[in-house]
Structure formats: C-alpha cells, structure tokens
Structure 1
Amino acid sequence: MTENQNGIKTIASVEKAINVLNIIADSEMGFTATEISHITGSGVSATYHLLNTLKRSNFIYQDPESKKYTIGLGIFRLHALAEKHNTLLSIAQPQLDELRKACDETSNLLILQGKEAVYIAQSVSDHMIKTFTQIGARVPYYCTGGGKVILAYRSKEEREAIANSTDFIPFTKRTISNAPALLSELDTIRAQGFGYDKGEREDGVICIAAPIFNASGNVIAAMSISGPAYRLEGKGIGILTEAVLHSTQAFSEKMGHISQQNQPLLRRCITQ
C-alpha cells in the first residue's frame, strides 16, 4: 500500500501491473521480460512474477519462440464487455452483420498474434450448413485468409522472419507447405488487397479476407467471410470478393484511415 501526495492510498503492485500493460500495449512487436525489466527499472525476477500473473489471466500473450509479450485476449474480453469504449469492436459488429447479410455467409474479424490468427468477433450465417469458429479460437496464420492478409502488410523483415521460422503443418493437400510459397502468396495479397483460403485448413471450405486499416494507415485486423466451397463458388468468388472489399473499405473509413475522396486507395492497395 502506498500513499500519494493527495493522501490517496493505492496498491503498488497493481500500479506496476498497469504500467507494464501500457508498456506492452504501446509496442507493436512486444518486449521480452528483460526488456520490460530495464524499461520499468524493476528487478528481472519480480518482473517475471508480474508477467506470469498477467499471462495466466490472459491479459498478455508470450510468443513461444521470440519470448516477447504482447497484449492478450483477456484485454479483448474486457473491451468486448465495454464495447462502447472500444473503437475496433464497436465498429466491427455492425460491419460484420452487414457483410453477413450481403453475402449470406458467416463473417469474421481476426487479429494476428504471434503465428496465430485469433477470432475476436463474428456474425454467423443462418444456413444449416455453415462455418463457425468460437470467439477467441486460435488457428495457424498460414492456412487462414485473415492471418495471411494481416501478415502480408507487415514489414518485409517480419514477413520473412515469421515465414522462415514457421512449422508448416499440412491440414489438407492444399495447405501451404514452405516459406517461399507463403512469401510469394503474401506478395500477391499485398498487391491485390485481398486473400483466400481455398480448402487450406479444411477441405471444402473457402475463406475470402481483406485488411482493416487504422487511422495511422496500419493493418490491425482482417475481415472475412467463410463457408462451403460449393456455395461460395456458386455465388461467384469475384462477386463475394467485391462485397468483402466494400465492407472492409467502409470499416477502414470508420477507423479514420481513408477519406471519402480517397476510396480507390484501399482497392488498389497502395501501401507505404
């Protein structure tokens, strides 16, 4: 227990935890425990204990290979409970609902955390035969449309580092099996502004995804539709792709990235 200059008593350990969360949240790539220890001026041992507590509560996530900590799903859960204060999720659900109605297929919102695509919001199709992924589910990024789309807009160095350190598990015969093939597809996605998963994670299922830009012009998430291949192909992949692009463009505009006068930028995917 500590007391500030106004005589208000606070709990020092909670203040330290909040400080660490803010430090991690401000970093796009995350920090190791040693780096956080140096930033906060705390001992490495005490920092590890604090980080383990936050990790156990899912407020932070530690990449198993880089050992760096980033914001975890516990934070997104809090955001979802206070949706009106969360720009991404408050904008997301209406957009997901509109996309689902436009395509008559399940729509999804994903983020990339380490080497996993994480589902953080969804609008489920009314079809009896449909795709459904539990909110919070993690899947390998390389066999999901959304995961590949987000990685495609990371720096060349990060794309190569992640691709070259990925253990490619063959879920189907269409699953990408090596780094060169993945990097080539990421280049294509970045050039055209959208990506597909055509039976790469599950036979007979197609996913169409496109990026969501924030006010700084960075890709922070991807929105997608998914469903049985026979139905999506019957509706026309090109038509559905246009619908996804239209929705993600509207989403990005609401996030403050693209003005009404610059709508073609997202479609042509002119990036920094």
Structure 2
Amino acid sequence: MVQSVDRALRILELLKEHPRGQGVTEVANSLQVAKSTAHRLLISLERHGYVQKVGKESTYHLGLKFIEMNYFVVKYLNIIEAARPLLEKLGRETEEIVHLVMLDDQEVVYIDKVDNQSTIRIYSQVGRRAPLYCTGVGKCILAYRNEEEILRYLNQVQFKRFTEHTFVRAEELVKELHMVKINGFSYDNEEHELGIRCVAAPIFDYKGEVRYAVSVTGQLHRMTDEILDHTIPKLLETVEEISMKMGFQKKLYK
C-alpha cells in the first residue's frame, strides 16, 4: 500500500513537470515499473479526479481535482493573511498569546499564533489539533453549528477528561454552548490544560458560517475576571474586523 501511494504521488509530480501530458509507457518508464502497474495507478487516479486522459494520444494530465484542492488551500491562506495584522494588534493590546484556529471535522487546528514575551508554555502550536468540547475556540465554533450537526457531534465524540474542569457530559456541554450563543464568546477555564485560561470568539465568513475562531490565552493568575472584562471588548472588535474582511456584512456587536 505504501509503495502504491509513493508511486501515485510520483506520477502526480511527473505530470506536473510535463504539462503536455504523458502516456502510459512514459509513466511506466519514469517509475521503472510494468505498463500494467502504471496503467492501474493512472486509472485509480483518474477515477478520483486527480488525473484526466486527453486526446487521441490518450495522454494523461493533472485533473480538475487540483482546482478544487487549490480553492481550499487559497481559502485557508487568505484567512491568515486577513487576520494576521489584527491578531498582532490584539496581542500587543492584551500582552497575552493570541490564537487563530479553523474547524477540521471534529477538531480545531491551530493555524496561526502570536506569542507574548512571557515564558508561558502551553499545549498549542501551529499545526496542533485539539477537541471542540474543552477549548474556548472549539466551543465557540461548535455553538454556531446547526442543531443537527451538534447532535451528530455529541453522538460521535468520545469525551476525555483532560483536567478536573473538563466537560465530559453532553448535557453540560449543551448548556455551555447555549451561553456561548447568548454572549458571543466562550471561555476555557482550565478545561484543556491546568493553569491556563482563555476567552475566544467566532469569525463569520461571507455566508455567515463559522469555521474559524480567535482566542486570547494566558496563565490563570494573569487572566483574572477583571482583566477579561478589558480583554473581551478588544477580542470582539478583532473578530468583527476579521469577519468583515472575510465578507460578512452584518454588525456583530454594538
């Protein structure tokens, strides 16, 4: 299986280097495999849209699937480009760590991070994943899914107790999500990591959907209720500006 994946990826690289296409024989020669093996790999890639057969010569080219993949990659990069200056501004104003995350299936993925000058060490780093149910960013994304999606999530998720504060019962989480919708932001009160507290808010795209969120994270002794009272308005202002950059037209907060 690993060998087949390796060969398939080598075919894609080969076709990228030959925009006029390659025949089965040429592919087989480049991979140093039998024509029957090259043909099977090409057929499989064609079935999934990653290559396409063109013309009387039956040459293979990269398929339309890459246009679709490019759309999602560009969309992913655009949010970072749009958000980065605002995340840096929020980091300067709060003097805490600022995260940008995106929804991926039943988890969040950290896609950008602005550090502060402290020596704080926390779980997050760009590329890391975390559950929805016990992170501020995850809960504020989950809260804005529709009822069917939330129910499906609750039926599929396996709750794990990271700390004594982690939500491990669906009823508790549903109540928390309801409050998130009312307030427009969510907390992580040591639910994912002891000694760490954060406040998070959602980003709305041009469709009004929430797939991204921003959080301000710090050590418990720094993230007091008084500090959060000053932090939350700055956070909400930040996500509103990012949402507008992403095409959202409505005013989020008064």
Band the TM-score falls in, shorter-chain normalisation: 0.7 to 0.9
Identify which range, 128-137 or 241-250, moves more after superposition.
128-137
Aligned counterpart, 1:144: 135
Aligned counterpart, 1:39: none
Q: Which has the larger radius of gyration?
A: 2
Give secondary structure in 2 for the equivalent of 1:142. Answer: coil
State the 1:182 CA deviation: 0.8
Q: Does 1:15 align with 2:1?
A: no
Inter-partner Cα distance in structure 2 for 1:246 and 1:148: 19
Give secondary structure in 2 for the equivalent of 1:11. Answer: strand
Aligned counterpart, 1:60: none
Inter-partner Cα distance in structure 2 for 1:10 and 1:229: 62
Give secondary structure in 2 for the equivalent of 1:181. Answer: helix
Aligned counterpart, 2:147: 156
State the 1:164 CA deviation: 2.5
Aligned pairs for 1:127-138 (under 5 A) are 127-129=118-120, 131=122, 133-138=124-129
Give secondary structure in 1 for the equivalent of 2:157. Answer: coil
Inter-partner Cα distance in structure 2 for 1:98 and 1:188: 27
Would the aligned equivalents of 1:107 and 1:124 in 2 still touch at CA under 8 Å? yes
State the 1:111 CA deviation: 1.1
Aligned counterpart, 1:222: 213
State the 1:4 CA deviation: 5.2
Aligned counterpart, 1:172: 163
Please, what is the CA RMSD of the aligned residues?
2.5
Inter-partner Cα distance in structure 1 for 2:75 and 2:243: 19
State the 1:166 CA deviation: 1.4
Aligned pairs for 1:199-238 (under 5 A) are 199-233=190-224, 236-238=227-229
Would the aligned equivalents of 2:136 and 2:215 in 1 still touch at CA under 8 Å? yes
Q: Does 1:91 align with 2:82?
A: yes
Inter-partner Cα distance in structure 2 for 1:10 and 1:220: 40
111, 125, 128: which one aligns with 1:120 = 111
Give secondary structure in 1 for the equivalent of 2:126. Answer: coil
Residue 15 to residue 237, structure 1, CA distance change in 2 (3 Å) = same
User: Could you tell me the percent identity over the aligned residues?
Assistant: 32
Residue 79 to residue 132, structure 1, CA distance change in 2 (3 Å) = farther
State the 1:170 CA deviation: 0.5
State the 1:212 CA deviation: 0.4
Inter-partner Cα distance in structure 1 for 2:183 and 2:239: 14
Inter-partner Cα distance in structure 1 for 2:111 and 2:223: 23
User: CA deviation digits over 1:155-199, x for unaligned, max 9?
Assistant: 111011102321111111100011111111111111211001000
State the 1:131 CA deviation: 3.8
Inter-partner Cα distance in structure 2 for 1:251 and 1:97: 12
Residue 131 to residue 99, structure 1, CA distance change in 2 (3 Å) = farther
Inter-partner Cα distance in structure 1 for 2:138 and 2:225: 25
175, 178, 198: which one aligns with 1:184 = 175
Counterpart amino acid of residue 230 in structure 1: H
Give secondary structure in 1 for the equivalent of 2:212. Answer: strand
Residue 130 to residue 18, structure 1, CA distance change in 2 (3 Å) = same
Would the aligned equivalents of 1:96 and 1:107 in 2 still touch at CA under 8 Å? yes
Inter-partner Cα distance in structure 2 for 1:10 and 1:98: 52
Q: Does 1:267 align with 2:220?
A: no
State the 1:126 CA deviation: 1.1
Q: Does 1:257 align with 2:243?
A: no
Would the aligned equivalents of 1:92 and 1:121 in 2 still touch at CA under 8 Å? no
Would the aligned equivalents of 1:111 and 1:222 in 2 still touch at CA under 8 Å? yes
Inter-partner Cα distance in structure 1 for 2:225 and 2:176: 24
- TM-score, with normalisation over the residues of structure 1? 0.68
User: CA deviation digits over 1:211-256, x for unaligned, max 9?
Assistant: 0011111112001111101101175222111111111111112222
Would the aligned equivalents of 1:106 and 1:132 in 2 still touch at CA under 8 Å? no
